[in-house]
A and B are shown apart, each in its own frame.
Chain A
Amino acid sequence: MKRRNERPENPRRQFLVRALGGAGTFLVAGCNRLSSTQWFPKFLAVGERLSSATQHLATPRKSMAQEFSEADLSPRFRSNGTAVPDNPQYQALARNAFADWALEVGGLVEQPTKLTLAQLRHLPSRTQITRHDCVEGWSAIGKWTGVPLHEVLALVRPQPQARYVVFYCADPMEDSEASKYYESVDMEDARHPQTILAYDLNGAALPIANGAPIRVRVERQLGYKMAKYLMRIELVESFAQIRDGKGGYWEDQGYEWYAGI
């Protein structure tokens, strides 16, 4: 079927083809340029706020992450990011099986405290088989045992103005002391029954590759919220003054603070 309007000299057709080609090139180049501006990524972050608001509206406050059976366990729980913290102080603690390690809990609390691993193991515990979803796209299923964070919070008694729980870790992510991993969650997640300070993985002491002696589990969010090598917990009203002010190491690199999606 030959049509007259498909003649190559048709100026309108040429214009259209050029417009489409131009639009394609413009799209890719334009997206790259927009990505490197200050304002556009901030504008795109509207999506994060919308997702957070609607997901919180859509789910009950204490909705539970799916728990699995032993049959679903991943044969080996993948270690990602830091496998051995490049930190002499941490390595000294590890050599002694973390007997000298103690978790500092402070900030906006009535009763700041320090808890050794033995003390944490004596507090009420919870065991859960959950799926760990990495922001990269993979997931692994592991059995975690630990102290529910709300048990620890009950010991230190948060002050009413406390809004976030900040986790400080032993692993430097870059060459500087100031690059140590940190994360934060809000009080709702902190008090969630599945939010635990895990000391066991798959029925054995948490390996160093997976965050020994303590790894935070925040089961309704992505893996980067679940800080490994926990050293200190601080309750704060705002994390704007901490490091780059985004509430976590990866958040400071441009990842969303709300990692429920």
Chain B
Amino acid sequence: MPKANASNADGTAACLYYRHRLPVRIMHWINVIALVILLMSGLQIFNAHPALYWGKSSYTGAPPILAMTAKQGRDGGMIGVTTVFGREFDTTGVLGASSANNGQLVRRGFPSWITIPDAQWLAMARRWHLFFAWIFFINGIAYVAYSIASRHLARDLAPTAKDWRSLGQSIKDHLRLRHPTGEAAKEYNILQKLAYLIVIFVLLPLVILMGWAMSPWLDSLFPGWVDVFGGRQAARTIHFITAWALVAFVLIHVFEVIISGLWNNMRSMITGRYRVATSLPSPVQTLAEPAQEVETGHITVEADDETQK
């Protein structure tokens, strides 16, 4: 986030601030597409054997820690059963048994509306998954390299001493759904920084590494390295859990994007420009209507154009 020399030509208390540079925007959206396809094709792959284990193999003598199955109910209909640590839950319609295209319940782990492709087709799901895994991996490497080289990491993501001191306040603000405005909105807050850093340097590398751990060829690189994570089937379980941890992050991320100004945030990740209200005293100030800004032809000062870099 380049520093802005915020001032306004016409006296309105707002300016468009150049928040996200082009490479970050492109890589963000590539990541969105890749992660959505990886999740959905991954769930289709999971459906080929909808059970998770802990250990070096699936058949160690211990039961699976999670399993989705279908069985016949008392009335003869199919019911979906999800077993977690030995406890059974009726998940008919969603997990274990869900509707096929003709409306009939069929036995499958996750329902067809969340898998790629929709019908049971492991070979095709693997093609999607293993292709977009490459897109995701190359994009991730490019992002980390760019973030280090451009100092995006050091300048925008690394928490400062001031950030750490604001941790308690930031937690309170988030719980009250209050968001920084004005100058403060130009920088990521401490919870935001921590969330992004955990995703970039813990969850995403972990999901990749656990994907590799499932590859029998890569397991031969240093025989036994997979056991550090509890074994190959444990790695598959961690891969699954990490994928859902990423979904949880995305849900919170999208929620925060919506309540802190959907259009402003979306614009900043599409065009790079983020509207900041300047010199306004209250943290609960109303953000001005962006539509008016454009439609009435207000001139805004662009603090740091790409061409200036």
Interface residues of A (CB under 8 A from B): 1-6, 10, 12-13, 16, 27-28, 31-32, 35, 41, 43-48, 50-51, 55, 58-59, 63-68, 72, 74-78, 131, 133-141, 219-222, 250, 253-256, 260-261
Residue B15, interface by CB 8 Å: no
Instruction: Kindly list chain A residues whose C-beta atoms are within 8 Å of the C-beta of B117.
Output: 31-32, 35
Segment 117-145 of B: residues with Cβ below 8 Å from A: 117-118, 121-124, 126-128, 130-134
Q: Given contacts A1-B177, A135-B122, A136-B48, list 6 more A-B pairs with CB under 8 A.
A: A31-B117, A47-B131, A59-B220, A64-B220, A74-B59, A140-B57
A78 touches B216 (CB 8 A): no
A220 touches B49 (CB 8 A): no
Binds A, one of B2-10, B75-83, B155-163, B282-290: B282-290
Interface residues of B (CB under 8 A from A): 36-37, 40, 45-46, 48-49, 51, 53, 56-61, 113, 116-118, 121-124, 126-128, 130-134, 177-179, 214-221, 223-224, 226, 232-233, 236, 259, 261-264, 266, 284, 286-291
B261 touches A28 (CB 8 A): no
Would you list 5 pairs from A and B whose C-beta atoms are within 8 A, ordered by A residue?
A: A66-B226, A72-B60, A140-B57, A141-B59, A260-B216
Task: Please measure, in the bound complex, the distance between the C-alpha atom of A194 and the C-alpha atom of B116, giving whole angstroms.
Answer: 36
CB distance from B216 to the nearest CB of A (A): 5
Instruction: Kindly list chain B residues whose C-beta atoms are within 8 Å of the C-beta of A250.
Output: 123
A63 touches B221 (CB 8 A): yes
B57 touches A141 (CB 8 A): yes
- The 3 A-B residue pairs with the shortest CB-CB distance in the complex, in nearest-first order: A260-B217, A47-B131, A74-B59
A260 nearest in chain B by CB position: B217
Instruction: Kindly list chain A residues whose C-beta atoms are within 8 Å of the C-beta of B58.
Output: 74, 78, 138-140
B219 touches A47 (CB 8 A): no
Instruction: Kindly list chain A residues whose C-beta atoms are within 8 Å of the C-beta of B291.
Output: 5, 10, 12
A139 touches B223 (CB 8 A): no
Task: Please measure, in the bound complex, the distance between the C-alpha atom of A221 and the C-alpha atom of B215, giving whole angstroms.
Answer: 8
Task: Please measure, in the bound complex, the distance between the C-alpha atom of A256 and the C-alpha atom of B40, giving whole angstroms.
Answer: 20
CB distance from A69 to the nearest CB of B (A): 10
A131 touches B121 (CB 8 A): no
CB distance from B18 to the nearest CB of A (A): 20
**Given the known A-B contacts A55-B218, A255-B123, are A28 and B59 also in contact in the complex, defined by CB atoms under 8 Å?**
no
CB distance from B109 to the nearest CB of A (A): 10
**Given the known A-B contacts A41-B127, A254-B123, are A261 and B215 also in contact in the complex, defined by CB atoms under 8 Å?**
yes
A64 touches B223 (CB 8 A): yes
